């Protein structure tokens, strides 16, 4: 656990043992990385945290939300990372928001270094929470943009002649699955930001900043919805193209089967053990050959004209 102490936006102490005093401008931030139940219960007794909020912070895969309790808020959100092989992945962050204390609970793989300078410029818990939400929403929008850009390559290869290669289709399915994962983390964020702003900012000077984060969250939701519709339509179009290609192949097979059936019938007829025109004559073979060529060629031209070949 790391601890930082601020006075009117200025970092004055860092490390264990930093405690806020009676100064109303003093704010404490406690950052817990993958804590155990004992760690959170100790903080719950110290700050009077609600047991339901503590339980939610310990459990994984809670939905994004903000819960209001008697003297604090509980916030659960997801930052988003990206793996080129597996697509986007969620990083869960829980926060207890008290009047002069912010407690964050997160996994060790979340890098908060880009956030530290912004927090040093903060002046209160409401500003710290704004910075946290801004970081989360920015990560969500950045990954949504990255997926949307990745779909340009998929679209170019899918819109070529014939069905897309198998690896392109698999990449498209990976992107669609990633968008579904991202959507579950991003869709509730506009409401979460609005609820937090109503509780912490009111109509104060931070209200426009929270409104800006809410607007970015809505942009991320819109971009994800647009990308999800886009990749679904691309995969559906590719499936239709595969069906068309299958129909063409089926028609060609049927046409060639018809062409082969004609000489088969003629040779079967002339191969009977019965006398026929030209039987045991040199011109009989010539006659059968001419009939085979004429009938097969005529059928080929007919099917070619109809577009079957």
Structure tokens at 125: 């818990």
Rounded to a whole number, what is the largest CA-CA distance in the chain?
A: 123
Classify burial at 71, counting beta carbons within 10 Å of its beta carbon; exposed 0-12, middle 13-18, buried 19 or more: exposed
Strand arrangement, sheet containing 26-33: 10-14, 2-7, 26-33, 101-106, 87-97, 73-83, 65-68
Distance, CA of 293 to CA of 308 (rounded, Å): 19
Q: N- to C-terminal Cα distance for the chain?
A: 73
pLDDT for res 139: 87
What mean pLDDT do residues 108-134 have?
70
pTM over 0.85: no
What mean pLDDT do residues 205-212 have?
88
What percent of the chain clears pLDDT 70, i.e. is strictly above it?
A: 79
Distance, CA of 105 to CA of 95 (rounded, Å): 6
Distance, CA of 55 to CA of 204 (rounded, Å): 32
CB atoms under 10 Å from CB of 276, counted, come to: 13
pLDDT in tens, 61-111: 788 999 999 889 999 999 888 776 677 788 888 999 998 888 888 876 666
Of 156 and 135, the structure prediction assigns the larger pLDDT to 135
Query: Helix crossing, 125-158 with 166-186: angle to 10°?
Result: 160
Distance, CA of 261 to CA of 81 (rounded, Å): 61
pLDDT for res 75: 93
Rounded (to 5) percent helix, strand, coil in the chain: 60, 15, 25
Q: Is 37 helix (H, G, I), strand (E, B) or coil?
A: helix
Distance, CA of 11 to CA of 120 (rounded, Å): 6
Lowest mean pLDDT among 8-17, 75-84, 111-120, 181-190: 111-120
pLDDT for res 253: 79
Distance, CA of 186 to CA of 222 (rounded, Å): 10
The answer to whether the CB of 308 falls within 8 A of the CB of 254 is yes
pLDDT for res 68: 92
Q: Is pLDDT of 164 > 70?
A: no
Lowest mean pLDDT among 25-39, 64-78, 100-114, 287-301: 100-114
């Amino acid at each position: 656990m790391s601890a930082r102490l601020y006075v009117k936006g200025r970092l004055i102490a860092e490390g264990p043992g930093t405690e806020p005093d009676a100064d109303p401008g003093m704010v404490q931030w406690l950052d817990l990385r993958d804590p155990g139940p004992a760690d959170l219960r100790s903080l719950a007794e110290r700050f009077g945290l609600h047991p339901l909020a503590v339980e939610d912070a310990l459990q994984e895969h809670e939905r994004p939300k903000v819960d209001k309790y008697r003297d604090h808020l509980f916030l659960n959100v997801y930052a988003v990372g990206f793996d080129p092989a597996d697509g986007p992945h969620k990083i869960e962050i829980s926060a207890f928001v008290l009047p002069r204390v912010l407690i964050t609970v997160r996994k060790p793989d979340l890098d908060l270094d880009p956030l530290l300078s912004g927090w040093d410029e903060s002046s209160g818990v409401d500003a710290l929470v704004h910075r946290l939400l801004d970081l989360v929403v920015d990560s969500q929008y950045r990954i949504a943009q990255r997926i949307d850009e990745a779909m340009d390559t998929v679209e170019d290869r899918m819109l070529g002649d014939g069905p897309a290669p198998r690896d392109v289709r698999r990449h498209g399915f990976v992107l669609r699955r990633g968008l579904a994962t991202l959507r579950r983390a991003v869709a509730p964020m506009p409401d979460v930001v609005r609820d937090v702003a109503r509780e912490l900012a009111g109509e104060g000077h931070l209200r426009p900043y929270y409104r800006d984060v809410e607007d970015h969250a809505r942009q991320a939701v819109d971009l994800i919805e647009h990308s999800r519709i886009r990749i679904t339509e691309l995969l559906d179009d590719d499936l239709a193209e595969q069906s068309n290609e299958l129909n063409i192949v089926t028609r060609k097979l049927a046409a060639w089967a018809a062409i082969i059936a004609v000489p088969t019938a003629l040779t079967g007829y002339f191969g009977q053990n019965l006398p026929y025109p030209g039987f045991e004559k040199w011109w009989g073979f010539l006659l059968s050959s001419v009939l085979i060529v004429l009938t097969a060629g005529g059928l080929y031209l007919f099917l070619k004209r109809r577009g079957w070949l």
